[in-house]
Amino acid sequence: MMANSRFDGHIVQGHVDQVGVCNSIEDKNGSWLFDFEYDALAGNVTVEKGSIAVNGVSLTCFNSKANKFTVAIIPYTFENTNFHQLKKGESVNLEFDIIGKYVKRLVGEQR
């Protein structure tokens, strides 16, 4: 993306910030809700309606809490990613929202 281009979508760098755990999978008539938990003491944060990459899949998170979040998976994503293989209790690689990380760092330095 060029610096003078329109900025749109998620910024995913391909880094693993932390490992999390899938706490639940709920079938919602063809779509799925996946709940994940992570160690908040590692310093990462989720941002409500911000981006999160789970096992390399860039998604939007909601129900954002200090150590957990939810993602909604549509049929296409379920079928064409590793989500159709994921089971409750399994570990996942997480990459947190880069903008959220920058803001947290800037705000943390001002305290």
Work out the end-to-end distance of the chain between its first and last CA atoms, rounded to an integer number of angstroms: 34
Q: Per residue in 39-85, pLDDT tens?
A: 989 888 888 898 899 999 999 999 999 899 999 999 999 999 999 99
Task: Using the predicted structure, report yes or no on whether residue 31 has a pLDDT greater than 60.
Answer: yes
User: In the beta sheet, which residues pair with residue 108?
Assistant: none
pLDDT of residue 1: 61
Closest CA to 101 of 43, 32, 55: 43
At residue 70, φ and ψ (nearest 5 deg) are -125, 145
At residue 27, φ and ψ (nearest 5 deg) are -75, 125
Task: Using the predicted structure, report yes or no on whether residue 14 has a pLDDT greater than 80.
Answer: no
pLDDT of residue 36: 98
